[in-house]
Amino acid sequence: MHARFFIMTIVILAVFSIAVAGERTVSRKDDISVTVYNNDLGLVREIRRLDLPGERTRVRVEGVASRIDPTSVSVEVLSGLRDLVLLEQNYEFDLLSPSKLMEKYVGRMIELVTVHPETGSETSLEATLLSMNEGPIYRIGGKIHLGHSGRVVLPEIPGNLMARPTLVWLLEGSEGTGEIKVSYLTGGFSWKADYVALLGKSDDEMDLTAWVTLTNTSGASYDNAQLKLVAGDVHRVRRMQPVPRVRGGMVSAVALKSGIEEEPFFEYHLYSLPRRTDLRDNQTKQIELLSAGGVGLAKEYVLPGSRQKNFKQPSYVKPDKEHPLVTLRFLNDEGNGLGTALPAGIFRFYKEDSEGMLQLVGEDGIDHTPKGEEVVLEAGKAFDITAERSITDYQVIKKNKEWEYEGTVTLRNAKEEAVTVKVYDLVNGDWEVIESTHEPRIESVTRLFFEVAVPAGGESVLRYRIRVRTY
């Protein structure tokens, strides 16, 4: 059983001092794996090699993420390093910058160097930095100067400033060399799926390609890392974390033709890349997730319903025109060329025009979708199909208890082929359809629809009457 240490908090020893025999810096990472979640979270695991003198030693672990959660750090001894004890951990994030350097030298002597504009010769003089509040204030030769045109030269870098985020451990144990595995959670990682669907000529099938779009703004780069992705909503206790300014990165694209392994994991789904990859800081990376050809697709025209009805509107008032939604639906199963968990993301539908050029015809988002489920996406609105909906009659049978209303929907089709429109209505309470020109289909306790065929270049009229009771 390997020794493992979990850091539950950052320990700062201010009351007493600890004698330290030596100091080591560990910046090399022998092996890296990163698991990325959907919600600004990554789990980093690194294998590092330590060489300890057998005495109490301070070890600086460099190259960790600037958005690390220090309380999540876990250290596991893999080999060597008998009797290793982790006494203290500090997370040093006071990073080196011009302003930080100047702040550390307030009250201290510095050097100011000026350059002669004509000869180029340099002249230096000593000054005391009095303050950095809203700009530098110097004492030079007994006088106070608000700023100076010279170049500031400092004798050294203060020991409590770091060039990059660093974990500082105080370790105790036997002399030796060995490997440890360091694991921690960090913000700044996220991923989503992007789906590209190429519709066939008849809109009844599609070729589908899915890409993972992964972003790293964690404040660290991870070279040759094993990458895993978790699809699902992991519950976390929210804490205020400092968010670094994104300085604009680069984009790289990697197409993995061998595919990604997918497996159920707890109540989520885990995707593992078949090869290692680099995760650079401030970088967006795209990796092919899946591809499928000839996926069966159904296109429908849908006129949504509404529970908000104006029963007092006069019948002679001309209703507004509507255009039905164009929806595309497909079944996520093996028989349809898919049958794998689809992570949340954006679907974009394309189709070739008469010249063979791809054109965007719609996009919509999907939630995490398990296999066997039907996916329904909205592509847009039908240009050549219009609808006029109105309440043409309303009668109260029992006040506040029972009433009837008649709905009328007129559909017109300017296309060169006949279409079928699904006309929905939404009703609350205990209701029934007492008469209609088209067969009603009950979808749920509050939702019904009618399938109305509309001829090419013609129109169709739907009329229905519903009785509603409340108790």
* DSSP per-residue string spanning 224-289: EEEEEEEES-----------PPP---EEEEE--TT--EEEEETTEEEEE-SS-EEE-TTEEEEEEE
Q: Is residue 348 part of a domain?
A: no
pLDDT bin (cut points 50, 70, 90) of residue 281 is very high
Is a pLDDT exceeding 70 seen at residue 11?
no
| Residues 80 and 176: beta-carbon distance below 8 Å | yes
| Residues 159 and 150: beta-carbon distance below 8 Å | no
**How many structural domains does the chain have?**
4
> Rounded to whole angstroms, how far apart are CA atoms 49 and 77?
10
Residues of the domain holding 91: 4-95+162-186
Final residue belonging to a domain, choices 296, 327, 345 = 296
pLDDT bin (cut points 50, 70, 90) of residue 102 is confident
Q: Are residues 220 and 167 in the same domain?
A: no
pLDDT bin (cut points 50, 70, 90) of residue 443 is very high
pLDDT at position 255: 31
pLDDT at position 123: 86
Q: Are residues 223 and 271 in the same domain?
A: yes
| Residues 88 and 13: beta-carbon distance below 8 Å | yes
Q: Per-residue pLDDT averaged across 23-51, rounded?
A: 90
- Give the CATH number of the domain where residue 54 resides: 2.60.40
Closest CA to 392 of 283, 316, 285, 279: 316
Q: Are residues 171 and 142 in the same domain?
A: no
Q: Is residue 350 part of a domain?
A: no
> Rounded to whole angstroms, how far apart are CA atoms 436 and 423?
13
| Residues 470 and 400: beta-carbon distance below 8 Å | yes
Q: Are residues 291 and 399 in the same domain?
A: no
| Residues 366 and 345: beta-carbon distance below 8 Å | yes
The tens digit of pLDDT for each residue in 149-176 reads 888 888 887 766 666 678 888 888 878 8
Final residue belonging to a domain, choices 270, 296, 322 = 296
Q: Are residues 166 and 29 in the same domain?
A: yes
pLDDT at position 318: 67
Q: Are residues 68 and 16 in the same domain?
A: yes
Query: Which residues is 279 bridged to in the sheet?
Result: 222
> Rounded to whole angstroms, how far apart are CA atoms 70 and 101?
25
Q: Is residue 462 part of a domain?
A: yes
Residue the block writes with tokens 């039908």: 382
Query: Which residues is 328 bridged to in the sheet?
Result: 299, 377
Q: Are residues 37 and 167 in the same domain?
A: yes
pLDDT at position 16: 36
pLDDT bin (cut points 50, 70, 90) of residue 259 is low
Q: 151-160, 165-174, 327-336, 373-382 — which is least confidently predicted? A: 151-160
Please give the backbone phi and psi of residue 72, each rounded to the nearest 5 degrees, phi first: -100, 0
Query: Which residues is 302 bridged to in the sheet?
Result: 325, 422
The tens digit of pLDDT for each residue in 388-432 reads 998 889 999 988 889 999 999 999 999 999 999 999 999 988 999
The tens digit of pLDDT for each residue in 211-250 reads 989 999 999 999 999 999 998 877 766 554 443 333 333 3
Q: Is residue 428 part of a domain?
A: yes
Is a pLDDT exceeding 90 seen at residue 309?
no
Is a pLDDT exceeding 70 seen at residue 147?
yes
Please give the share of the chain, as a percent, with pLDDT higher than 90: 44
> Rounded to whole angstroms, how far apart are CA atoms 129 and 132?
8
Q: Are residues 261 and 242 in the same domain?
A: yes
